[in-house]
Structure 1
């Protein structure tokens, strides 16, 4: 494995207290960087002080958007151990996104090694309060100094770290969601299954309008029939109907969430009936009308489990579980976060431990 050089910052930053944390606003002292060039491959892995970087105005990513990113979390677990949740799963998904954007694949073990070295260096930034974590943001951008639509021949990979609190201001309380019937986000054969900036840029109009109307998030429907549920802007979505846990299948326009996968594995291990299939918004509303819609919740790295208390579709609002957190949502949240913080045994080997303590 290539040696990773380290250049330490001259003056360490001020580490915030746990109650000062928001989400994605504070960054640690260092970052990991690696370069790619056609014919040379990924090279020069290094850890350098966190800071601005300069690119030419003609840098190709600014014009044609060839870029991907990931989102992971590290935790200060029991006995001050440093643990990362499902690190290889996230880095393998990083490679799946890369394949959709014609970006050269990374060596997962090399990047994992660089990440762990970065975590070791900036470990004092990992907050310790329950509900806090260190958010990990790997990303790759194309860097050719060229204006023209083509697959780039040079790239940069970065990993930056951010100590964070709860993703939503209301914490673990149920969120309200608008079912989007005006805009579409992705379709099969497009970018929906890749974690790339364009996916999220496409969601901004709908999200802004939903916020103006008092909703926390947007639930997207399929782009062809405009009836089948896909995902929320920052989460996969689950419905508990007559005891069955249903989530839309990964059909080419939905991001395959690692927390989604975790919930399915966990629910199946508990003997719950699960299904990955098409589910229409009409079916959801009909189940509610019959009293069969027991819970709705989202899953994602940032919020882990996010109970949904209200859905609104074409002006028709329904309330789920009296706008209270459901029993299953709470159980899933408690179990997954318990494993992450080391208070629940890691029976599924989800946690990847850095050989260090804080």
Structure 2
């Protein structure tokens, strides 16, 4: 078995050792319920508060504006559904983009069935939201704009500050899905005019099953889970104290090494892009070349099927993911790649490689060599490629 090369950090990250160590006592020693009034419970309550302080500090927010959830998808659902309910008297119009995560898109589909009207704004060929189209879409009954901070597939970072300014100018709530960006980029909710923000622990070397929703003070958002008075009555249920402690520890770690990590990942990212473009013909970099997450590389390879490429990379010990949704049982290519204008046949041959600070230049070289070998093999099996080569002669 080849040494494992893990290049799917946009899907999930390895929980950092210091995060695991921070969590362990809260499983076996300090296991009290935070709602209990005795000292074992109050210690847990204190730990939850400390994690909120860390996360709030990383965003330029207040601790009482942070609400823990079971992950990014729950936070996205809460932001959209609760806003639609709370502001229904003003209107039922929501604006989002065509390249959002399915946690947003499927929630919007649900809300459409409940009587909401959703406008899906276009993006350019690099995946950047068209600001003029976004602003023109705003109506008197628009209650919410939800645009992701950075795309999970192609890594494009949106002009969030400008979007926030547009929303603020029109007195419309602004939510951003920052699941991929939080812990990778500097974020200040006031500077970007963000009213709600979603994040997830397992994307920044924290545990799975924990995330948070930032809700700006004064925003009228209903409870998402009803029951007890946890999370100031907005999300009932006994707090996941080990997960919350882990989320806080992961955030503290991520922002303490942010600049160093970003510099290393950006250097490796650019090297990987350069080598793929140098070694493999008929490929296309997806997403903006400069306005992209420091760890994201996404390529489409003509005359190659993404699922076959993934399987053969796995056989070589390289973990990656495809821009195509075929690996999840769908025959349709990625909605993101279609939205940036790729035809179906090219979108199907896409590969996403997402790095971490532990990856090395040697791993990048090994990966490029493997992709080159596999792409060559798959193309040599393709009658479409054979016809293409004949026409080039």
Structure with higher strand content:
1
**TM-score of the superposed pair, with normalisation by structure 1:** 0.26
Structure with larger Rg: 2
**TM-score of the superposed pair, with normalisation by structure 2:** 0.24
Structure with higher helix content:
2
